[in-house]
Amino acid sequence: MAPAAAVRGSGLVWLASIVLLALPGAPLLAHRAFARIPAAARAVLAGAAGAALTSFAMTAFALCGVSWSLPAVLGAALLLGVLLRPALGAGDIQTRAVPAVDGIAVVAAFVASISVCAAFLATAAGAASSPDLLFFWGPKAQRFAIAHTVDAGYLAQPALRYMHPYYPPLVTNLYALASMAAGRLSWTAATFLFPTLLAALAIGLPGILRTLPGARPAAASTAAVLVIAALAYIGMEADVGGNGDMPLLLFETLAVAVLLSPLASGPAGRLLAGILLAGAATAKIEGLPFALTAIAVFLWARRRELRLGSDLLRLAGPLAASLLAWFAYGEKTRLFRGYSGEGALLAPHPEHFAAAVSAIASALASTGHSLPWLIPLVCLLAAVPRLGRDAALPLVTAAGLAAFLLFTYLDRPGDPSQWIAWSAPRVFSPIPMLFALAAATARDDGASGD
């Protein structure tokens, strides 16, 4: 095989191996509680849940000193998915019929397809590639693949502290697994995960949103389009190809959509949401405050109908297990202790508050970044008179995430304006998604309560 053809072939294998992540999630999504979710959407949810389970298995292997191999890791994750099935409960919680696909949903699917195609073309042209892939995510994944485990020796080198050894492991774990399957890290294939996961979101999200109780199918479909279009545009503008932002957004979006849907009325949906939130928390650091806020708001809103102990375990147990395994690995190898690698969250500098807020507003209002924010915001404002109580979940989570990001920007002694200019469009991108999901909770009858 010619060298160029071999490179292309390994890239295809690299991407195809990501599809295998749906196997560990399949036992969960085959449960009858998810029967009325369309098959394509269930496959996406299985892939996302399987990714979280697989990364947990890889971290557990590293903690126990067991080398990674594709069959062993996927087998362990599949076993974990089977063992979790009893926690899904026995009942079918979706009793209402899913609305038929209408004309607006067809138009929504067309617009989403255009957005995804644009993201693929931008990635192919190199316009959506990420410098962070070259300097951070990629090198770590490459070394992990070579070592067949988390390479503690590599991360411990003083000259490589910018690799942030304490950073959550999911993205580098899965990149390493795909690299082991392909025989090499395919940098190009890694950048194509941005449009690939965007396409997965375009398939999975409408299937969940169409089940929202009391919401118009048109509103839910419109919200899905706004999310996909916004993420496509922001991703191309902010160069997210190959970094951790798109996996994070996939987990966050699907988790909130599940918590807003009828699935959240039973144990199956709550466990699935918990696994997805664990995926978010182990994808990037900001996924942890996102997940904790979403869990807290959901528990408060549903406090009268929940069994606090069992439902808290379903929602927060996967997150706690995933982070404890990673922090235990850091403690064992003396690489890190929690998220204390930079002394973060200990010494904020409020004197930079005005400059930070101004820089954030400027970054989000700049040409190319404002439109993906304005359209979901307009739809949210239009839906305000009819918003249901569930709108509090995405809205309060958005507020919590924004507060955390602002606090993070203030946690360094220098003026954060330059840092904000290149990072804010990326890290704030879940917020327009949350606005769109909140708009999808609008009621037909104008009621704003239950």
Contacts of 80 (CB under 8 A, 6+ apart): 24, 53, 56, 57
Contact 416, 352 (CB under 8 A): yes
- β partners of residue 241: 129
Q: Is the pLDDT of residue 96 over 90?
A: no
Q: Is the pLDDT of residue 233 over 90?
A: no
Cα(197)–Cα(41) distance, rounded to whole angstroms? 13
Confidence band for 61, pLDDT divided at 50, 70 and 90: very high
- Note the pLDDT of residue 442: 77
Amino acid at 78: L
Cα(359)–Cα(188) distance, rounded to whole angstroms? 32
Question: What is the end-to-end Cα distance of the chain in Å, rounded?
Answer: 63
Candidate from 97-106, 273-282, 317-326 with smallest mean pLDDT: 97-106
- Note the pLDDT of residue 368: 61
Span 416-448, pLDDT tens digits = 888 898 888 889 988 988 988 888 887 765 444
Span 108-129, pLDDT tens digits = 677 778 888 888 887 887 655 7
Q: Is the pLDDT of residue 94 over 60?
A: no
Q: Is the pLDDT of residue 60 over 90?
A: yes
Mean pLDDT over the full length of the chain:
85
Based on the number of CB atoms within 10 Å of its own CB, is 296 exposed (0-12), middle (13-18) or buried (19 or more)?
A: middle
Q: What is the pTM of this model?
A: 0.92
Confidence band for 343, pLDDT divided at 50, 70 and 90: very low
- Note the pLDDT of residue 163: 83
Average confidence (pLDDT) over 257-282 = 95
CA dihedral 403, 409, 411, 413 (to 10 degrees): -150
Cα(410)–Cα(401) distance, rounded to whole angstroms? 14
- Domain residue ranges of the chain, discontinuous segments joined by +: 3-86+102-439
Average confidence (pLDDT) over 324-344 = 81
- Note the pLDDT of residue 8: 59
